[in-house]
Amino acid sequence: MAVRLGDEAPNFSADTTQGRIDFHKWKGDSWVVLFSHPKDFTPVCTTELGTVAGLKSEFDKRHTKVIGLSVDPVDSHMKWEGDIKDVTGHAVNFPMIADPDRKVSTLYDMIHPNASDTLTVRSVFIIGPDNKVKLTLTYPASTGRNFQEILRVIDSLQLVARQPVATPADWKPGQDVIISNNVSDEEAKKKFPKGFTTRKPYLRVTPEPGR
């Protein structure tokens, strides 16, 4: 069954490049990015894993743990990590789940049989401290993901978890945000002391709080 927004992220036990884990115990109350790759020793995946390894400090700043998955076994992941370092200059610094029996891939609906009945698609799940799924993304094998976009979504999710706001199209941290419609103008005046602009009765914008 598909894992949808607001669902509890299913728990599992699995072997990883950093030992066996119980997913929920490993996760604790962190934010998590769980992302799948079709197969080891493939070109697009190699660039993706190096890119994510190079962004470790950005994920750390956001209290976010990263975990990858591919359907190959741990010893294959370990050998592949050498290539990833060679090609990208970044050593993989997060666990990679080995899923040769497709147990985790099936649990998270990462195999889309009309794309491939053996390999996982490029799935991304962002999971909150409450273990609820906050974002899902699915990319085809041929398109590498934009991890700056993943960081941008984490920034938005973490902001809206703290404040009654939403973020507009192409928002970046530091730009104006939208005040939630369940906040009255009176409340907004108190909550957002920098003021707000009413573009339409349903669209009020204010500088990002806390900046």
Contact positions vs ligand BEZ (CB under 6 A): 38-39, 42-45, 119, 141-142
**Shortest distance (Å) from residue 94 CB to ligand BEZ:** 18
Taking the least distance from each CB to ligand BEZ, the nearer of 39 and 85 is 39
Nearest distance from C-beta of residue 62 to ligand BEZ, angstroms: 26
Choosing from 33, 45, 55, 179, which is the catalytic residue? 45
3-state secondary structure 109-120: CCCCCCCCCCCC
Compare residues 62 and 90 and give the one whose CB is closer to ligand BEZ: 90
- Residue 96: CB atoms within 10 Å: 26
Give the burial class of 2: count Cβ atoms within 10 A of its Cβ; 0-12 exposed, 13-18 middle, 19 or more buried.
exposed
Residues in Cβ contact with 45 at an 8 Å cutoff, skipping those fewer than 6 apart: 37, 38, 39, 70
Smallest gap, in angstroms, from Cβ of residue 7 to ligand BEZ? 27
Residue placing its CB nearer to ligand BEZ in the complex, 40 or 208: 40
Question: Catalytic residue at 36?
Answer: no
Measured in degrees and rounded to the nearest 5, phi and psi for residue 128 equal: -85, 175
Q: Which residues are catalytic?
A: 45
